Amino acid sequence: MNAKYDERAKKVDSLLCVGLDPDFDKLPERFKKMDEPQFEFNKWIIDETHEYAAAYKPNSAFYEARGDAGMRELKRTADYLRSEHPDIFTIDDAKRGDIGNTNNGYATSVFDWLGFDAITLQPYQGGRALEPFLSRSDKTCIILCRTSNEGSGEFQNLMTDGKPQWKIVAEKAASEWNANGNCMLVAGATYPEELAEIRASVGDMTLLVPGVGKQGGSATEVVPNGKNSEGLGLIINSSRGIIFTDDPGAEAKKLRDEINSCRV
């Protein structure tokens, strides 16, 4: 499934992922009154931005906050993407993780019921617990490595034998967990130097990079530090900086172009 992303990225000449995070309180008033406010908002965002997007990434928390109604609108969003734009890579940013037996339920939910191409995953319970995801060679597993938030270093920077934990996660992903060629890693745009170290540790593995825009990360630092040997290998996500603006299409095009100007 990782190849799907590369093909789309080449086709539209874009490394941009649009974050579909429809925080209900922040929706424009015209959507709040609709029967399916989050889906209708997402549909509008997708219609406006798809020609610049290689991927879309809804964050599950914003849907779960509205209970089963939100979950249905998340599924409607996934279904809409699959039917209208089947070549766009779709990521459920759900940050799931449990013991192996239980992870089967999450894999079924995200890969089969919702139908996403990829899921984000927690490493804390170890690689063996991730087996129900890793064994799905038809899907992509994106494991948290170095997250974009302030304070993310509290555990991720803990050093063992001279290596921070994020680096240990990166090395294990590249050497142990990627037997099916279906792993990627999360590496925040807010820590560009560590992004370069992660790139050095994982070969050409693709990195999902949140934190550009409102969180403070910039394309000019991310692209040179994170791209792989083919000039690809990055899924650069922006959510609030695109979706909660007056002209999401223009903002998506602007960021796509800014990213591309750093690729040459």
Query: In terms of CB distance, is 9 or 27 closer to a second copy?
Result: 27
Instruction: Report how many residues bind a second copy under the rule CB under 8 A.
Output: 57
Residue 79 is a binding residue for a second copy (CB under 8 A): no
Interatomic CA distance for residues 8 and 12, integer angstroms: 6
The reply to whether 95 belongs to the active site is yes
Which positions from 17 to 56 touch a second copy by CB under 8 A, shown as an x/- string?
----x-x---------------------------------
Least separation in angstroms between residue 27's CB and a second copy is 14
Q: Dihedral sign for Cα 23, 24, 26, 27, please.
A: positive
Q: Which position among 35, 138, 154, 246 is part of the footprint of a second copy (CB under 8 A)? A: 154
Report which of 200, 106, 93 is spatially closest to residue 148, judged by C-alpha positions. 93
Interatomic CA distance for residues 165 and 236, integer angstroms: 23
Residue 179 is a binding residue for a second copy (CB under 8 A): no
Residue 155 is a binding residue for a second copy (CB under 8 A): yes
Distance from CA of residue 142 to its chain's centroid? Answer: 8
Annotated catalytic residue within 11, 33, 75, 95: 95
Interatomic CA distance for residues 91 and 89, integer angstroms: 7
Interatomic CA distance for residues 30 and 250, integer angstroms: 20
Residue 135 is a binding residue for a second copy (CB under 8 A): no
Q: Please tell me whether residue 80 adopts helix, strand or coil conformation.
A: helix
Least separation in angstroms between residue 57's CB and a second copy is 12
Q: Dihedral sign for Cα 68, 74, 77, 82, please.
A: negative
Binding residues for a second copy, rule: CB under 8 A, are 21, 23, 59, 61-69, 71-72, 75, 93, 95-100, 102-106, 108-109, 113-114, 122-129, 144, 147-156, 158-160, 165, 168-169, 172
